[in-house]
Amino acid sequence: MRIDVLTLFPEMVEPVLSGSILGRARAAGLLDVRTAQLRDWTTHRQRMTDDYPFGGGAGMVMYAQPIVDAVQALDPGHAARRIYLSPRGRTLTQRVAEELAGEERLLLLCGHYEGVDQRALDMCGFEELSIGDYVLTGGELGALVVIDAVARLVPGVLGSDESSRDESFTTGLLEYPQYTRPASFRGMNVPDVLLQGNHADIHRWRMEQSLRLTLERRPDLLGDAPADEDARDMLARLCAGADAVEAIAARGVNAECASLAEADAFPKHWIEAFIPEQNRKAAKRACSYDRQLKYFHRAFERGLVPGAADAPDDVELRLIYLPEKRVLIRLAEGSAEGLGDRVEIDETWTRTRVVKGNRTWFAAKQEVSE
């Protein structure tokens, strides 16, 4: 791919293009980026490239003449896609970068001051592109952003196609958190799932983290539901968990969602904690429907949970499982009133409360004989 950069300040562009991945790509011939000094085409005897705007106003406007002549010299056959970096252009996104990466040539015009004479844009057929809703002193930084975003999509530039496929926005989601050695750093540990070598579990963890981060930080990216059925299910559960946390927060209580893996493991752990071994098969049959354990109250109704009693007044059950939504909520304080049908346990997994409609059951953990 060839990219020409028309600029008044090539010294701002070249150092970035000469280092790191872009520099190696240029050296390997994968990327041909050239800077052109616009002053070389001006016909002004003092090499000026701008003047005051007609109609008055602050700042200076770049002449049309050097821009038009430079474009005609560098791209006489209009082989390049011509782009003017401008805050009024359409916004650069990952999809736009992918679109531009499919071009053989790009020609980027860097404006300065109050912009460029509109006639240059019209005569040369420039499209306008913005890197965000803010204004810079010139287009050079914007051009570098475009070059970097596009170049990394050129085959061979990153060395591995996976490097670009998994990045934020490439999948339509924000990227999951990344970790490297050591596994423990100043008391903070890498999530266990990443150390266990189960690629299916790792994939699910990464998908959940991407969905969770996107839901929290860029929900606008979730306008289209994920194509993958598992991802849609994850997203629905994460949204349900977020709604529950928001409802709790409205009462002034802090709460957070546990991972979906913890939520999936909850029914099994609950049965192991509160139901004697000889009753567990019967409990699973009684509590399950469509392989989702959610009718916890039936274990009480059928006498499978020994020692059921009224909950003490001072009991604090901070781990809340919502069976219908299959999400697990941690409360910092307070109660789970208002969350509907739920299973509550304390942090030591020794006491539990099950709420179904207007009925409530309570039990303490039973010692299980080996």
> Is the model's pLDDT at 161 over the cut of 50?
yes
Q: What does the domain layout of the chain look like in residue ranges?
A: 2-163, 184-253, 257-364
In the prediction, which pLDDT does 292 show? 72
| Architecture of the 2-163 domain | 3-Layer(aba) Sandwich (3.40)
Q: Which of 9-13, 157-161, 304-308 has the highest mean pLDDT?
A: 9-13
Q: How sure is the predictor about 369, in pLDDT bands with cuts at 50, 70 and 90?
A: very low
Mean local confidence (pLDDT), 248-253:
91
Angle made by CA atoms 23, 25, 26, in degrees to the nearest 5 = 65
Query: Is the pTM for the entire model greater than 0.85?
Result: no
Would you identify the CATH topology of the domain 184-253?
Answer: Trp Operon Repressor; Chain A (1.10.1270)
In the prediction, which pLDDT does 275 show? 93
Q: How sure is the predictor about 291, in pLDDT bands with cuts at 50, 70 and 90?
A: low
Strand-pairing partners, residue 33, are 3
Helix (H, G, I), strand (E, B) or coil at 256: strand
Q: Considering only 11-25, 59-73, 187-201, 304-318, which range has the smallest mean pLDDT?
A: 304-318
Classify the phi-psi angles of 179: left when phi > 0, otherwise alpha if psi is within -120 to 50, otherwise beta: beta
Q: How sure is the predictor about 370, in pLDDT bands with cuts at 50, 70 and 90?
A: very low
| Integer Cα distance of 225 and 227 in angstroms | 6
Say whether 184-253 and 2-163 share the same fold: no
In the prediction, which pLDDT does 334 show? 82
Q: How sure is the predictor about 352, in pLDDT bands with cuts at 50, 70 and 90?
A: very high
The DSSP element (H or E) to which 82 belongs, if any, is strand 81-91
Q: What are phi and psi of 263, to 5 degrees?
A: -65, -40
Average pLDDT of the chain is 91
Higher pLDDT residue, 367 or 14?
A: 14
In the prediction, which pLDDT does 258 show? 96
Q: Considering only 6-10, 96-100, 227-231, 286-290, which range has the smallest mean pLDDT?
A: 286-290
Share of the chain above pLDDT 70, in %: 94
Contact (Cβ atoms closer than 8 angstroms) between residue 362 and residue 308 = yes
Burial readout 45-68 (b: 16 or more C-beta within 10 A, e: otherwise): eeeebbeeeeeeeeebbbbbbbbb
> Is the model's pLDDT at 162 over the cut of 70?
no
Mean local confidence (pLDDT), 111-132:
95
pLDDT for 27-57, tens place per residue? 999 999 999 999 999 999 899 999 999 998 8
